[in-house]
A and B are shown apart, each in its own frame.
Chain A
Amino acid sequence: MNNLLFLPLLIPLATAILGLLAWNRRRLQRLLGVCSSAALLTVGLMLLYAVQQQGVISAQAGNWPAPFGITLVADLLSALLIVATGLMGLCVTIYSLADTDARQESLGYHPLLQVLLLGICGSLLTGDLFNLYVWFEVMLIASFVLLALGGQREQMEGAIKYVALNLIASALLLAGIGLLYGVTGTLNMAHLALRMQNMPHTGTIPVIAALLFCAFSIKAAVFPFYFWLPASYHTPPIAVTTIFSALLSKVGIYVLIRVFTLIFPQETLAGQPLILAAAGLTMLFGALGAVAQPELRRMLAFCVVSQIGYLLMGLGLFTTLALAGSIFFMLHIIAAKSALFLTTGVVARLTGTSRLAELGGLYRRYPLLAALFLLPALSVAGIPPLSGFWGKLALVQAGLQSGQYLMVAAALGVSVLTLYYLSNAWIEIYWKPAPAGAEELQYLPPRRRRQLLAPTLLLALISLVLGLLPEPLFRLCHSAAQQVLNPSAYITAILGALP
């Protein structure tokens, strides 16, 4: 009945297989990639509409009834993120038509990107904890290869750190899932939530919660586990960095929200000071790291870490408004941060560098590019009327309502730091005169320029429109947060009527 739920998995999977069959036909692979991402976006929107109309929808793979088979489930939160995944897939695929070089494409870049999207969609839709681990691994193995694709020296170093830390996280996750099965005897997330409601939360359960929190925190790059991200994200091609920063760490946050509201609500409340401290320190250390970077891509990688803190803050505050703010902020940051990364890629392609000291004077030649950096930069910093402002407003308001004044102060202080380093970067790249001895700018043929600029422009415009008209999306995020905090609809959709 709800076969729509399988499409976000089948489309990328089929495209990846077809892409592998068409190994030597790069044009066909490109075409397949663009079509598949567009189809994924369409299916995501259909799914969002269906969830809005019918509430939480679920499907059982192979028709095995719920706690025994593998469940796919979509609520508003996962549907919204599927839409974001489709959008980012489309933008990055179009961007990489012009940006990815022939060698990387001939090594299977497009099929790998589809496998990555498959893993992300799987992690977002699964309703089974062990199945989640499997989807994480699908996502990871594709990301490993994408990160190391091309085999530059710098990439190798980044890849080693990324692979090691993510595999440790997987081992922790596996141990946590195994222990949880030993205690509760089930792996279906809805079933787990039911059983946990009727269990004393002592002994091993807080330990399991801590294990899973650490595992997901490593994947989401939360303090103190964030250091692998700035060490590796600046090395691969910019299109790959963009999709990693837009989606991979967000999947970590999604899973944190899902698992800790559904299965461990008591532990989340008990661990609130710790979660908030981790959120605040993630923001602060990310921002301080970004201030110190002389190179744009490393700065943006630290900026990714810093923004993760805001997403975690919503979970830590654990109120509807806070989670709504987090979800809105997540969608905003996916668009705005990706636009920043994509313009950085264009700048690097024009000038051959992304070191701030060697850049300058681009405003005179490319005012549109300057605007495309400034708009998302101000949005990320949270200047009204751009999208970042509304997410931060909701989070700050929720923080004040819960009396977490220190957290609010950290969130606002980090915003100022963000504004400082991003505006500083803008001045360095576009405003200051070009340094003496700067090389002549590369010429970009019009077709390539369109392929590079169209997705960037789209994402920047989304950030602007979300800022000017936040109401419809914010209302959706609010209902998503309500669904997440009152999981009975989720549980009923999977297990049928409650006894």
Chain B
Amino acid sequence: MEPVLAVVIGGLYAAGMYLMVRRSIVKMIFGLALLGNAANLLIFTVGRLTRGRPPHIPLDSTLPSLPVADPVPQALILTAIVIGFGVQAFALVLIKRVYQTVGSDDQDVMVMENQGQGSSGKGQGEEA
């Protein structure tokens, strides 16, 4: 199972990175979501995959009978999903506002119009 998940995680990271370097901010947000999912799946996989062994402790014992599935990675992922949900919701509202104020979802258009005002991100890079 691990090799399959490794390939899936790699694919998610690659797709996320590809989307993030696109000029469209909508695709950038999709890319962010994919990166978050890739990280969650990575935590899930490196936390060891153990099938069908919930970490229950028998009544007459103080330890579960090993091996059991580690619940901590799942708790981490759950937290990360909730945080990611909030952050992505904010990002979506933000790009809506950006689209309303700039009138485009293309990052190059934002920079070009800004250059007309005198200074811009691009210009700074060259001077630096």
Contact = CB atoms under 8 A, between A and B. Distances in A.
B94 interface: yes
Most A Cβ at <10 Å: residue of B42, B90, B128 = B128
Nearest to B37: A171
A144 interface: yes
Interface stretch (B50-58, B59-67, B80-88): B80-88
Contacts of B125: 227
Interface in B56-106: 72-73, 76, 79-80, 83, 86-87, 90-91, 94-95, 97-98, 101-102
Contacts of B119: 293-295, 298
A156 B43 contact: no
Given A178-B42, A182-B46, A289-B124, 18 more contacts: A144-B90, A144-B94, A152-B101, A156-B94, A159-B94, A160-B28, A160-B107, A171-B38, A171-B39, A174-B39, A174-B80, A175-B43, A178-B76, A292-B128, A294-B118, A294-B119, A298-B119, A298-B124
Interface residues of A, number: 45
Contacts of B98: 156-157, 159-160
Interface string B16-51: 000010000100100010011011101100111000
Interface of A: 130, 133-134, 137, 140-141, 144-145, 148, 151-154, 156-157, 159-161, 163-164, 167-168, 170-171, 174-175, 177-179, 181-183, 187, 227, 230-231, 285, 288-289, 292-295, 298, 302
B110 interface: yes
A181 B48 CA distance: 10
Interface of B: 20, 25, 28, 32, 35-36, 38-40, 42-43, 46-48, 72-73, 76, 79-80, 83, 86-87, 90-91, 94-95, 97-98, 101-102, 107, 110, 114, 118-119, 121, 124-125, 127-128
> SS class of chain A's interface: helix, strand, loop or mixed?
helix
B90 A164 contact: no
- Nearest 8 CB-CB pairings of A with B: A182-B46, A178-B43, A292-B127, A289-B128, A171-B35, A174-B39, A175-B39, A156-B98
B125 to A, nearest CB: 7
A230 B114 contact: no
> SS class of chain B's interface: helix, strand, loop or mixed?
helix
A74 B125 CA distance: 40
Nearest to A157: B110
Given A156-B102, A289-B128, A179 B46 contact: yes
B101 A167 contact: no
A137 B87 contact: yes
A183 B48 CA distance: 10
B97 A148 contact: yes
Most B Cβ at <10 Å: residue of A140, A157, A187, A227 = A157
Contacts of A153: 101-102
Contacts of A159: 94, 98
